């Protein structure tokens, strides 16, 4: 028999037992001893070759597994899947019943089960190993591989009951554990175990250590990838924040430019409100120092005055915007002086940068209000000086007077109405609002304005004095928040007629107050018979003297109440009893007083025509002292 038979066995990868068959057959055939010896040497050589080929095949499989693991690491997407593949390959290459991986928990100071392959026990998969306890704890603590052919008989490590119970439930006997290192740090342990006793060869320990190294790299790569993703996320968030802030800064710069342009162009608070709502959205209302509306863009809706006032005070004290629900309130102030409030209503959140825009709008609004007040005051002084000269009759026919009027846009030869507005002279705030309103109104209508105590005097182009008085009473009263009574006269033409018109308008305003018509506006023509009497060129004082003079003089000398008794007598329809009842005196006293009136006024004072004149005089007497007609001597 030839030795080539062993080559054939090697070629078909026959099991070791078949290598004995050629030698047995040769002995049975009676082969010579030297042939048997040669066949035996060939058999041993073939078995050595077979073992070498088997070792190389196993090594090739190990290297292939490591190569596949490296490929998994290169394409790392899911660290869990990579770790599962490593544990699965460890079990396959070491022909183990189970393989598993534990990782270090820095927060709890122990290790926990991360991945298992081949496990059948839930308790084992949930196991946690304290540092130094059990075989895995010893490996994690020392950083050295440990192999135990019989776990329960091994005394090299500390046994813990809960660990041994879980190992027994999994029916493990032989266990190999190798550390997973990242530099000098142990991050976990990779295990291979069998459910029967068996030793682990050095090649197996080395293979498992290689897989553990790959697992450590996978975990580190996953950590780096997560850190990179986190950093990218933070960078993206930071970039978005920078972009948002850049947009906010750009928006703020745009708002600043637009509002600054408004100041330069002479815009008003309405324009500021429009800019704010265009940039921030929502609706905006501008209030004056007393909470009255100056301008609005959009519908702010009903406002709680107390809430807005409190928010405005808080904004003024803090120097920044104050939120009240969906309202954002910014105080408009100049130093310690409150000029007004901006109230923005929007359902959206207003960022810090946008709040600065609202505060900048409040500053620009304050600037515009101060500009308007200063300009109105300056122009008001000029217009007031001219009107004062017209009222006093100084140089009314001079060219200088006409020249001053032309510079102010006033045509003195055109028809004008003279309006006298009576209002309480109060605090500086109302006085300033009165001056501002009157100056603005006069300037817009090419008229003149002057202030004298509780009077505001306006000379306005027009031909309807009653309508002008009504408008002034309504608008000025609305600005002040208090009733304003306005009397008007005219129309008049030329500077010389202004003084007389002023006196008539003033008497008209005083008459309205005496008649109980405070808060209204009218001309003399609208006051009935009183207007006829107090109108221009009417000698009211002379009429009263002729109709009622003796009675008035008697009351002044004696301190009696004849005028009051007479007024009441006519007021109750000439009834003696009702007069007595109204004055709380006896009827005889009334009779005596009326007898005295009769002696003073003469017979016939109760005749219809004479009685009417006396009643008119009594009505005029209620108005207080009225001037005589100019030009009467001795008066």
CA-to-CA dists, residue 503 to 103, 178, 414, 490, angstroms: 105, 116, 20, 11
Would you state the pLDDT for residue 633? 35
Calculate mean pLDDT across residues 473-486: 87
Burial class (CB in 10 A: 0-12, 13-18, 19+), 280: buried
Which pLDDT value is given to residue 634?
Answer: 35
Q: Say what the pLDDT of residue 169 is.
A: 93
pLDDT at 331: 86
- Which has more confidence, 615 or 174? 174
Residue position matching structure tokens 């709380």? 584
Going by C-alpha positions, the residue among 373, 432, 381 that lies closest to residue 408 is 381
pLDDT tens-digit map of 244-283: 778 777 777 777 777 777 777 777 788 888 888 888 888 8
Q: Does position 390 have pLDDT exceeding 60, yes or no?
A: yes
Can you tell me which residue has the tokens 């196991």? 127
Q: How far apart are the first and last CA of the chain?
A: 175
For 204-218, 225-239, 368-382, which range has the lowest pLDDT when averaged over its residues?
368-382
Q: What is the pLDDT of residue 72?
A: 59
Q: What is the pLDDT of residue 2?
A: 64
Which phi-psi region, left, alpha or beta, contains residue 424 (left: φ > 0; alpha: ψ -120 to 50)?
beta
For residue 249, CA distances in Å to 254, 256, 262, 351 come to: 8, 10, 20, 12
Q: How confident is the model at residue 339 (pLDDT cuts 50, 70, 90)?
A: confident
Identify which has the larger pLDDT, 313 or 610: 313
pLDDT at 631: 41
Question: In this predicted structure, what is the pLDDT of residue 108?
Answer: 85
Question: 39 with 22: CB under 8 angstroms?
Answer: yes
Q: Mean pLDDT throughout 340-367?
A: 83
Say whether pLDDT at 533 is over 90.
no
The confidence band for 511, taking pLDDT boundaries of 50, 70 and 90, is confident
Is the pLDDT at 65 greater than 70? The verdict is no
* Mean pLDDT value of segment 500-514: 86
Cα separation, 275 vs 557, in Å, equals 71
Q: pLDDT exceeding 90 applies to what percent of the chain?
A: 17
Q: Cα 255 to chain center, whole Å?
A: 16
Euclidean distance between CA atoms 240 and 236, whole angstroms:
6
User: 155-166 pLDDT, tens per residue?
Assistant: 888 888 889 999
Q: Identify whether the C-beta of residue 450 lies closer than 8 Å to the C-beta of residue 386.
A: no
């Amino acid at each position: 028999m030839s030795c080539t038979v062993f080559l054939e066995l090697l070629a078909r990868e026959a099991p070791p037992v078949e290598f004995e068959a050629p030698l047995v057959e040769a002995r049975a055939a009676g082969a010579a001893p030297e042939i048997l010896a040669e066949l035996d040497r060939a058999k041993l050589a073939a078995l050595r070759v077979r073992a070498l080929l088997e070792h190389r095949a196993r090594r090739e499989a190990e290297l292939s597994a490591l190569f596949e693991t490296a490929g998994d690491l290169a394409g790392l997407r899911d660290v869990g899947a990579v770790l599962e593949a490593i544990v699965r390959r460890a079990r396959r290459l070491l022909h183990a019943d189970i393989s598993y991986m534990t990782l270090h928990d820095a927060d709890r100071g122990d290790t926990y089960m991360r991945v298992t392959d081949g496990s059948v026990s839930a308790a084992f998969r949930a196991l946690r190993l304290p540092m130094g306890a059990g075989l895995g704890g010893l490996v994690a603590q020392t950083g050295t591989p440990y192999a135990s052919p019989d776990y329960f008989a091994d005394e090299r490590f500390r046994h813990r009951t809960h660990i041994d119970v879980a190992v027994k439930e999994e029916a493990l006997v032989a266990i190999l554990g190798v550390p997973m290192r990242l530099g000098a740090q142990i991050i976990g342990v990779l295990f291979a175990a069998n459910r029967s006793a068996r030793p682990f060869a050095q090649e197996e320990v080395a293979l498992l250590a290689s897989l553990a190294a790959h697992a450590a790299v996978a975990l580190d790569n996953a950590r780096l990838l997560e850190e990179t993703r986190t950093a990218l996320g933070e960078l993206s968030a930071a970039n978005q924040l920078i972009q948002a802030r850049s947009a906010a800064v750009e928006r703020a710069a745009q708002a600043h430019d637009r509002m600054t342009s408004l100041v330069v162009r002479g815009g008003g608070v309405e324009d500021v409100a429009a800019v704010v709502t265009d940039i921030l959205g929502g609706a905006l209302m501008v209030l004056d120092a007393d909470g009255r509306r100056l301008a609005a863009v959009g519908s702010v809706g009903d406002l709680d005055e107390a809430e807005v006032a409190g928010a405005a005070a808080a904004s003024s004290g803090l120097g920044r915007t104050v939120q009240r629900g969906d309202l954002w309130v910014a105080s408009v102030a100049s130093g310690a002086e409150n000029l007004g409030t901006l109230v923005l209503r929007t359902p959206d959140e207003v960022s810090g940068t946008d709040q600065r825009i609202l505060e900048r709008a409040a500053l620009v609004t304050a600037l515009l209000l101060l500009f308007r007040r200063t300009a109105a005051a300056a122009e008001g002084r000029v217009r007031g000086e001219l009107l004062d000269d017209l009222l006093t009759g100084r140089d009314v026919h001079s060219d200088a007077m006409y020249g001053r009027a032309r510079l102010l846009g006033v045509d003195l030869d055109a028809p004008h109405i003279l309006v006298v507005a009576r209002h309480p002279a109060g605090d500086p705030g109302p006085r300033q609002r009165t001056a501002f309103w009157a100056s603005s109104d006069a300037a817009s209508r090419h008229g003149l304005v002057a202030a004298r105590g509780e009077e505001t005097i306006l000379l306005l182009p027009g031909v309807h004095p009653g309508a002008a008085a009504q408008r002034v009473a309504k608008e000025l009263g609305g600005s002040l928040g208090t009733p304003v009574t306005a009397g008007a006269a005219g129309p008049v033409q030329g500077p010389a007629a202004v003084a007389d018109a002023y006196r008539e308008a003033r008497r008209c305003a005083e008459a309205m107050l005496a008649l109980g018509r405070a808060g209204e506006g009218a001309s003399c023509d609208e006051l009935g018979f009183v207007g006829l009497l107090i109108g221009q060129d009417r000698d009211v004082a002379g009429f009263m003297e002729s109709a009622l003079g003796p009675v008035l003089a008697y009351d002044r000398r004696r301190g009696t109440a004849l005028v009051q008794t007479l007024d009441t007598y006519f007021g109750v329809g000439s009834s003696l009893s009702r007069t007595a009842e109204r004055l709380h005196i006896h009827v005889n006293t009334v009779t005596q007083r009326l007898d005295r009136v009769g002696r003073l006024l003469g017979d016939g004072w109760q005749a219809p025509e004479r009685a009417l004149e006396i009643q008119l005089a009594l009505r005029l007497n209620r108005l207080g002292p009225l001037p005589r007609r100019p030009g009467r001597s001795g008066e």
